[in-house]
Each structure stands twice: as C-alpha cells, then as structure tokens.
Amino acid sequence: MAKELFENYIKAVTSHVKFRFDRRAIGQELREHMEDLYEDLLSQDIDEEQAAQLTVDYMGDSEELGKELNEAHNPVLGYVWLWVRRLFILIFIAFGLPVISVGGCRAIGTGYGTVDRFFTELYEETPENLVYTVEVNRQVKVDDMVVGVEELRYYQNGDMELKYITYQELFSTALTGTFDFYDCYLTDGENYTSQFRPRNTQIEVSGIYYEAGSITYPDFPADAKECHFIYDREGRQFDMEISLLQKEEDL
C-alpha cells in the first residue's frame, strides 16, 4: 500500500513541473525522502498503513508543492539549456562527418560521448545519492551495429545506471540495426542477474542510425567487484566484463 500511495503522490506533485526532463530527478528525491520518513515512523511502532498516510500528510499538499518545485525548476531556462546542449552535440557530429568517411562511424559515438560529458560536467551537479562511477568507454560489434558502454553509475538505492551509445556502420545495407537491448542483461557474475526493462531506459538523443541514453538496473549488489553486460540472441553474443575496482568514489 505504501509504495502505491507514495507513487500516486509523487505523480501528482511532478505533474505540476512543466519542464518534464526534471520530473524523474524530482520524483527520485521525493521518493527517497518519503521512504526515509516512512521507515522512521515504522521504527516508532506505528502500523504500516498509518505510517504511509502520515508520511504523505507530512509532505503537504501535492499541488502546492508541485507549483513551488515548478518555479524552482524554471521550464523556459530548462528547455533553453536542453536544446543548446543538443545543438552543440549535433554541430559536433555534423562537422565530424568528413572524419566519419575516413575513420568510420565510431566518430559519432566518440563525438557524442565527448561533448555530452563536457556539458554534463560543466552544468550538472553530481547527484547526492551517487556512490561511484566507472569510466568504461568500450565497444563491441553485433552484425552491422556498434554497441558502446560509456560509463557506469552506482547509486545509494542500489540502482546501477549504464550509459550507452549504439550506431550502425557507415556502409551498412540494413535500414535498421539487428541489435536489441531486449536480449541484454546485467550480472555481477555470481547471484545477481537483471534483464532489460523498457521502463528503466532513458533515451537522451537518437536518430535513424544512432541512439544514446542510459539503462537502470535496480538492486545491484553494493559489494560487487565486477559486472558483465551480456547479449545473447540466435548465436550472436558478447560478454563485456567490467571491473568495478577502478571506481571513482563520490561519497
């Protein structure tokens, strides 16, 4: 009951935030705060149903809170920043086309990743709940599709976020790539295995032949020393082993 009550409240709050690209981060922050309060109330011998309702009551009116958050997250400035960021990425890719003809479509992946990381580091604050990051920057080829893993981010709530980019090779004869994330899963090499779920995917930029975004795998073990990003479909497969020992702590 508590989870459903919390999610309905969060949805009601974020519906008033006009800059929709901030809704996910706002929702996550509200969710963590409510869960902490809920656990605190349970520790005081309050029953689950009452504790859930008290948590929502404590947060206040959803409409009022949503309007306050909307003012704090200015939608006009948010959309200006979003499109300026995308414009710089597209300009980089456009001017990189001569290089692509010589060096292959890898320039798209390198170009997007470089520019995106630059503007992310310049303007975006590090999430408070980020535990560590791992720079990966590795690519594999599936038929005519290149699949790249740029970075891993692990959060306090157990989420492992995988930043990816995919693109087709320059002289591909296929209209669309044969690779599909539905055939991928993440494992720690021991007890944890998580399949791809569309609802846990966020696409940041995409075109006919390329896409970049992130996939979140929940409940990843905090003490894992490595992870495997695995693809397996009709005899085509890869196992990208990524060490977590070189992680950059963000605590």
Contact status, residue 228 vs residue 187, Cβ threshold 8 Å: yes
Contact status, residue 147 vs residue 139, Cβ threshold 8 Å: yes
Q: How far apart are the first and last CA of the chain?
A: 32
Give 64-84 pLDDT, tens digit per residue. 888 877 776 555 544 555 555
**What is the C-alpha to C-alpha distance for residues 47 and 168, in angstroms, rounded to an integer?**
55
Q: Compute the average pLDDT of residues 188-214.
A: 82
Q: With a cut of 80, say whether residue 124 has pLDDT above it.
A: no
Please name each of the domains of the chain with its CATH number. 2-73 (no CATH), 74-124 (no CATH), 127-249 (2.60.40.1640)
Three-state secondary structure string covering the chain: CHHHHHHHHHHHHHCCCCCHHHHHHHHHHHHHHHHHHHHHHHCCCCCHHHHHHHHHHHHCCHHHHHHHHHHHCCHHHHHHHHHHHHHHHHHHHHHCHHHHHHHCCHHHHHHHHHHHHHHHHHHCCCCCCEEEEEEEEEEEEECCEEEEEEEEEEECCCCEEEEEEEEECCCCCCCCCCCCHHHEEEECCCCCEEECCHHHEEEEEECCCEEEEEEEECCCCCCCCEEEEEEEECCEEEEEEEECCCCEECC
Contact status, residue 133 vs residue 251, Cβ threshold 8 Å: no
Give 128-181 pLDDT, tens digit per residue. 789 999 999 899 988 878 899 999 999 999 999 999 988 876 555 554 556 788
Q: Count of CB atoms within 10 A of residue 35's CB?
A: 15
Tell me the whole-structure pTM to 2 decimals: 0.52
Q: What percent of the chain has pLDDT over 90?
A: 23
Mean per-residue pLDDT of the chain: 76
Residue 185, pLDDT score: 92
Q: With a cut of 90, say whether residue 224 has pLDDT above it.
A: yes
Residue 100, pLDDT score: 42
Give 22-42 pLDDT, tens digit per residue. 677 788 888 888 888 888 888
Q: Report the length, in residues, of the chain.
A: 251
Q: With a cut of 90, say whether residue 103 has pLDDT above it.
A: no
Residue 83, pLDDT score: 55
